[in-house]
């Protein structure tokens, strides 16, 4: 049957076409589903909004910090004051007149904005402090490779606010470092906020949105380098000193039964930590350390009296009056301790050639 074949062929053809169409549909669907995650991935490249025109230290740093977080890593930046443009951003800093964490809006210029860092810090926040308050711990945990819940992250977060961010907040908000009308005796114009300000084009230099955006990128990196440098120094030098001090406080009663003489096997910056740790632990005044003993550069040992406050020249208990301003044999004779090197005229520091000698000086002074 001749006539059947074409009909059969035709049927096959139709079936093939249907299969073909179905397969095409499937492949379109597949393409759509494989494209979907890609589209999502592209959306993961978030957009940070901040104002255009002249830039400042606070939003330069805010943008840098945001780019160190998981959510906003490698984000693009859109600089504009146009609400319609800012609307398209995933987060907005330093513009928009709203502070609302839930909406990721972080401006500080609006009337009624009174946010401060807290933890004893009363300075009104700029966008740097605002972003640092919300994202700082995440950045610190990442950079120091510490778990977010490690107490050291909190310690560094507070330290970096105190030493680095608060000044940026204050300068941005026009808060003077010296609240009285005392005139400073000289100018210091190399602070970070000044250096960022001077990256803006000068009045007689060409400017354009492109130039400003490019300079803003430089400013953001500058603030970020400074931030990371400080953080690194606090994490790798300042914190380890604190740990050593804690262990010498813990073992102080083994060195001297009073526990008032702290001995370090090497010099370490101890003062600020000691005052902070005493404050945290609430130790009674009568149990506080009086002297610290540590080796100096030349292989001799020093005894230093703990000051009344970390900045003060007055000691909790200065070395005895009778020893002050004396050296070597005269001092050894006065103290009855051989090998003495010196006691400073104000009695805040003294030396002996050995650790044992320095300890004896400390113990004798404590008993006097």
Ligand X SMILES: *[C@@H]1O[C@H](CO)[C@@H](O)[C@H](O)[C@H]1NC(C)=O
Residues that bind ligand X (CB under 6 A): 52-53, 73, 80-82, 142, 145, 209, 337-339, 352-354, 356-357, 360
* Closest to ligand X by CB, 15 or 71: 71
* Closest to ligand X by CB, 5 or 74: 74
CB of 339 to ligand X, least distance (A): 2
Strands 349-352, 301-305: pairing is antiparallel
CB of 266 to ligand X, least distance (A): 19
CB of 44 to ligand X, least distance (A): 12
* Closest to ligand X by CB, 37 or 299: 299
CB of 17 to ligand X, least distance (A): 50
CB of 66 to ligand X, least distance (A): 13
* Closest to ligand X by CB, 288 or 355: 355
* Closest to ligand X by CB, 15 or 236: 236
* Closest to ligand X by CB, 150 or 163: 150
Q: Which residues contact 146 (CB under 8 A, 6 or more apart)?
A: 140, 152, 153
Distance (Å) of CA 30 to CA 21, 34, 36, 37: 14, 6, 10, 12
CB of 203 to ligand X, least distance (A): 13
d(CA 179, CA 201): 31
């Amino acid at each position: 049957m001749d006539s059947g074949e074409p009909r059969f062929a035709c049927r096959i053809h139709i079936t093939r076409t249907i299969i073909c169409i179905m397969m095409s549909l499937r492949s379109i669907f597949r393409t759509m589903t494989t494209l979907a995650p890609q589209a999502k991935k592209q959306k993961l490249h978030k957009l940070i909004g901040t104002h255009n025109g002249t830039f400042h230290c606070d939003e330069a740093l805010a943008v840098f910090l945001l780019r160190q977080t998981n959510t906003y890593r490698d984000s693009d930046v859109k600089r504009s004051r146009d609400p319609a443009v800012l609307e398209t951003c995933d987060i907005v800093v330093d513009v928009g007149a709203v502070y609302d964490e839930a909406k990721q809006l972080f401006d500080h210029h609006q009337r009624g904005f009174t946010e401060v860092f807290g933890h004893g810090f009363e300075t009104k926040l700029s966008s740097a402090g605002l972003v640092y308050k919300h994202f700082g711990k995440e950045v610190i945990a990442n950079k120091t490779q510490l778990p977010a819940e490690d107490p050291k992250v909190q310690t560094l977060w507070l330290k970096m606010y105190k030493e680095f961010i608060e000044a940026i907040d204050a300068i941005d908000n026009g808060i003077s470092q010296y609240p009285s009308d005392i005139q400073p005796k000289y100018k210091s114009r190399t602070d970070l906020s000044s250096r960022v300000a001077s990256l803006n084009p000068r009045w007689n230099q060409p400017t354009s949105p492109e130039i400003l955006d490019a300079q803003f990128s430089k400013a953001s990196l500058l603030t970020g380098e400074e931030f990371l440098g400080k953080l690194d120094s606090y994490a790798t030098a300042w914190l380890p000193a604190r740990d050593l001090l804690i262990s010498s406080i813990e073992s102080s009663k083994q060195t001297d039964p009073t526990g008032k003489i702290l001995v370090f096997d090497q010099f370490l910056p101890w003062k600020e930590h000691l005052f902070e740790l005493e404050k945290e632990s609430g130790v009674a005044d009568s149990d506080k350390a009086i002297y610290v003993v540590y080796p100096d550069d030349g292989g001799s040992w020093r005894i230093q009296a703990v000051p009344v406050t970390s900045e003060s020249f007055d000691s909790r208990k200065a070395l005895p009056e009778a020893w002050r301003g004396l050296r070597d044999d005269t001092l050894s004779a006065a103290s009855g301790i051989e090998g003495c090197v010196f006691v400073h005229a104000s009695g805040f520091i003294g030396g002996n050639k050995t650790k044992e000698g320095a300890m004896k000086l400390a113990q004798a002074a404590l008993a006097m």
